[in-house]
Amino acid sequence: MTNPSTMRAIWVEQIGEPETMQLRELPIPALKPGFVRLKVDAVGINFADVLAVQGKYLTPTQTPLIPGMEFAGTVDALGEGVSGFTVGQAVACLGGRGGLAEYATVPAQTLVPVPEGLNSAEAAAFPVSYYTAYITLVTLGHAQPGETVLVQGAAGALGTALIQVGRALNLTVIALASTEDKLKIASDLGAHVTLLSERSDIVDAVKEATGGKGVNLLVEITGGEMVQKSLRMMANRGRVLIVGAASGEDGKVSSTALMKKNLSVTGVWLTSMMGEPGVIEDAVAFFTPLLKSGQIRPQVGKTYSLEQSAAAFRDILGRKTTGKVVIEPQR
């Protein structure tokens, strides 16, 4: 057990753009009963982290804030009453906040063991994207072998997870992305069809790729006017799963469009599913053999130091990233 007294951390006093994040020297939080202290090696940055700093996330941002919802490292100390973990053990964490620091104290129940064979960056890239992908396609989407799924933002952290999970479920995967380089990433991961998302005839192109039928499942992350296009891409009794609105605009759902094809639209938020009995246990059982076999592998994109956190957030906003952006506090 180590006893450092201070740590470097990213500190947000007021919500705003990434530049509001400050690198500070802070006291290490006190270790309370039921909590674990981690030495943080890698933080997986999600679009939700960016929204939290901007004050635009689904839940109000409480400041001051150390951002970082998802991270991985080693157990440094155990609080009173904690069992099932050992000092030095590699773990990942869905702590909700606090990751962008050299050390973090988190409730023991937010820790998950790191699957064998994953390094710290891969472990930090796994929980949010892959659990969300499972909940989207399996728990809420009820995907069936042979169905077709359309994945927007296919080269991003969630997109790359959805492609791999879709392939594991024996779905036909249509991937949309903004550049040819990003489509190459999707293709290499096993997407059956890749299409540039910005093309003016995207609805017709998706219809053509499905023999005129449309897709059975569509993972909507764009929002805004894209939602109307998404509805037009659907097959009869298709399911639209709304996971985000990267455009910053809510999409309008036409009740007439839903009725004509008997469509369903479902919102997806990992946080509200975490407490559902059996959901995460089912996801772990699904992923364990796939990770061991190498059929699924977290896709780590560019890595940044703690000092580069604002640049990492800005790159995500500018759609300059692929895979999971990872910040390494010990660098």
Question: pLDDT tens digits, residue range 117-154?
Answer: 899 999 999 999 999 999 999 999 999 999 999 999 99
Mean pLDDT calculated for residue range 164-182: 98
Distances (CA, A) of 59 to 54, 62, 109, 148, 249: 12, 9, 21, 32, 17
Higher pLDDT, 67 or 279: 67
Architecture of domain 129-272: 3-Layer(aba) Sandwich (3.40)
Q: Do domains 6-126+299-328 and 129-272 have the same CATH topology?
A: no
- 210: tokens are 């499905």
Q: What is the DSSP annotation of 46-68?
A: -HHHHHHHHT-SSSPPPSSB---
Can you tell me the mean pLDDT for 297-303? 95
> Residue 3 pLDDT more than 70?
no
3-class DSSP state for residue 131?
helix
Instruction: Name the band, by pLDDT with cuts 50, 70 and 90, for residue 162.
Output: very high
The domain defined by 6-126+299-328 carries CATH number 3.40.50.2300: no
- Domain map (residue ranges) of the chain: 6-126+299-328, 129-272
Predicted confidence at residue 2, as pLDDT, reads 52
pLDDT at res. 171: 98
**In this structure, are residues 134 and 128 in contact, taking their beta carbons and an 8 Å threshold?**
no
Question: For residue 4, what pLDDT band results from cuts at 50, 70 and 90?
Answer: confident
Give the angle subtended at the CA of 158 by the CAs of 320 and 163, to the nearest 5°.
110
